[in-house]
Amino acid sequence: MTVVVATEDFELYHGVVNELRDRGVTFTTVEPGADPPDSADVLVRADDDESVPAESDADVRTVIADPADPRRAVEEALALLRGEGGRTVVGIDPGTRPGVAVLSGEMVVAAFHVPLGDVAAVVREEVTDAVDPVVRIGDGARLQGGKLIRALEDVPVELVDETGTTPYLGTGARGMGDVLAAVNIARLDGERVESREVEPTPGELTVIQNRSRERADDNREIDEELARRVASGELTLEEAMREHREDDAT
């Protein structure tokens, strides 16, 4: 299976070639409009490059690539090489800094380890233009998982039993656990959900209150009701702290 790169766009050429090399994909290059080799399966080109000649006998599928986003073009080419079963699945191991893994079929095509507030934007970027994508979220970190489900209300979401998804980490693998757990979560079927109502425990409320005190310049701690609204996702911690100060000022 071979990918052919045929473009006069310098930026696109180097972006696509570097992505292919990083993934260990066999590829070759030809001039735009030239006959691709017999081994070619997928051709990557820019929108304004010449296509495969109409008289060519090669059975080659084409990916039109954006120079600003070569990774997406390579992922589309790899999905074509793999054929059916290349559904985009995003697995999330929730927490304050979730692991996020993007799979196309059984292949991991991207991975992230980002703050909770950035996850929804990352997921939307990854599922844009994907056919029948699904997001699978582990059920372990209840409060953070509930926030993610609410933030991704426009994306199909499944809640997954994440028991046993965190792998043993050997020497040198520190910090990879959340991402590897996200890969395992992505590979498990879950229950389709549109929301997750979670009643925070007294301990979870205490953690939120302690965090507000740690962030406040005057050691001020929000009350339990505001902490409950933070836990539910109604307020961010900063909004709750501001509301608490305003209430005290009146």
The residues that bridge with 90 in the sheet, in sequence order, are 102, 135
Of 172, 193, 214, the one marking the end of a domain is: 193
Whether 235 and 215 share a structural domain:
yes
The per-residue pLDDT for range 151-205, each reduced to its tens digit, is 998 889 999 999 999 888 888 887 789 999 999 999 999 999 887 766 788 888 8
The per-residue pLDDT for range 65-119, each reduced to its tens digit, is 999 999 888 888 887 776 645 678 999 999 888 999 999 888 888 999 999 889 9
Residue numbers of the domain that contains 61: 2-82
Whether 92 and 189 share a structural domain:
yes
Whether 100 and 152 share a structural domain:
yes
Whether 78 and 98 share a structural domain:
no
Q: Residue for token digits 């600003």?
A: 68
Whether 166 and 183 share a structural domain:
yes
Q: What is the pLDDT of residue 242?
A: 87
CATH number of the domain that residue 52 is part of: 3.40.50
Q: What is the pLDDT of residue 186?
A: 95
Q: What is the pLDDT of residue 85?
A: 55
d(CA 9, CA 215): 49
Number of alpha carbons in the 13 Å side-chain half-sphere of residue 45: 22
Whether 29 and 108 share a structural domain:
no
Please give the model's pTM, rounded to 2 decimal places. Answer: 0.64
Whether 8 and 32 share a structural domain:
yes
pLDDT mean across residues, the chain = 86
Q: What is the pLDDT of residue 25?
A: 82
CA dihedral 28, 31, 36, 37 (to 10 degrees): -50
Whether 41 and 73 share a structural domain:
yes
When divided into structural domains, the chain yields a total of 3
